[in-house]
Amino acid sequence: MKNRFLISSVAWQGLRHSEAIAEVRAAGFGGVEILCKPGHFEPGNRAHMDDVLSALAEWPDALVTFHAPFYMVDPAASDPDAWDWSMGEMMLALEAASRLRARSMTVHVRSRETAKTWDDANLDAVRRSLDRLAPVAAERNMTLAVENLPPPCFTSDAADLLRLIEEYPAGVVGACIDMGHAHLAERAAEIARMLASRAFVSHLHDNIGAGHGDKHMIPGGGTIPWAGVVEAMREFRGQPVMEVVMTGTLGETLANVERAIVETGLTRLVSGIHEYE
């Protein structure tokens, strides 16, 4: 089976992007997702951009997705100055994603620091953000994938997330199914089923459920019922991204991920661009 899963740069924090991406390519994976995180990848950091661009230049058929910044960047900020600044950062991220040939950019509705607070003013602000971002993404032939966050954050309820994205063209704004977050909500298969047909991306990783934190384990290392999840995702046609932390060396992590994809039945997932051989 030729592997068509993407590896998130979560897996190589602390390593050079160019070296890690070359290793992912050599391991036979289909591409990468680049995570925006201070010190790891910053869209305005020329050295970061050049490092990733150099690796992707050697891998012209790589599938690429992109995770927008969510440290301090708050698309749902009700304060006008905070919103304006956040929009500037999101636009910078969208431009970087386009330069990296990303097909989709995953978006958190709130920053890491404000994620647990929500009211009508925040909903109005995130709608304004998507109103601003969606046409720019469409011009660049990209999609926006709004991620389900863990409880008690807004979008932890898949119904709320669907109501938000259904206001936008289905070919431009959709969902990112984060399976770790869904399991923390104790509704993994249900959330997967509800979002599958509108999802452009899925973040695949494991944890041991509510009250134990989001561990970003390799699938099978926690308690997510993967057989039920895979069945629930029959309508998923997006990009499957392994969003796992490194255990041992990157090479060891990639080998463990490849085994886990087979052992958990994730091989049954079919990308909207490629089918698994």
CA pair distance 105, 95, nearest whole angstrom: 10
User: What pLDDT is attached to residue 214?
Assistant: 84
CA distance 36 to 102: 13
Distance, CA of 205 to CA of 241 (rounded, Å): 9
Strands 239-242, 143-147: pairing is: unpaired
CB atoms within 10 A of CB 48: 18
pLDDT at position 273, please? 39
**Whether the bond into 152 is cis, omega within 30 of 0:** yes
DSSP letter string, 77-126: --SHHHHHHHHHHHHHHHHHHHHTT-SEEEE-SS-TTTTT---HHHHHHH
The pLDDT of residue 1 is 41
Q: 84-102 in b/e burial notation, b at 16+ Cβ within 10 A? A: eebbebbebbbebbbebbb
Tens-digit pLDDT profile for the chain (277 aa)?
447 899 999 999 999 999 999 999 999 999 999 999 999 999 999 999 999 999 999 999 999 999 999 999 999 999 999 999 999 999 999 999 999 999 999 999 999 999 999 999 999 999 999 999 999 999 999 999 999 999 999 999 999 999 999 999 999 999 999 999 999 999 999 999 999 999 999 999 999 987 767 889 999 999 999 999 999 999 999 999 999 999 999 999 999 999 999 999 999 885 443 343 3
The residue ranges of DSSP E strands in the chain, in sequence order, are 6-8, 31-35, 63-67, 104-107, 143-147, 173-178, 199-204, 239-242
The rounded Cα 272 to chain-centroid distance in angstroms is: 16
H-run or E-run covering 131:
helix 120-139
Q: What pLDDT does residue 272 have?
A: 43
Output the pLDDT for position 275: 41
* Close Cβ partners of 250 (under 8 Å, ≥ 6 residues apart): 11, 12, 15, 20, 23
Which pLDDT value is given to residue 209?
Answer: 81
Sequence length of the chain is: 277
Strand 6-8, strand 31-35: pairing? parallel
Q: Can you tell me the distance from the alpha carbon of 133 to that of 125, in angstroms, rounded to the nearest whole number? A: 12
For residue 218, what is the DSSP state? P
Q: Which residues contact 74 (CB under 8 A, 6 or more apart)?
A: 82, 83, 86, 110, 111, 113, 114
Measured CA to CA, the distance from residue 146 to residue 272 in angstroms comes to 18
Cβ distance 195 to 138 under 8 Å? no
**Tokens describing residue 69:** 């910044």
pLDDT value, residue 271: 45
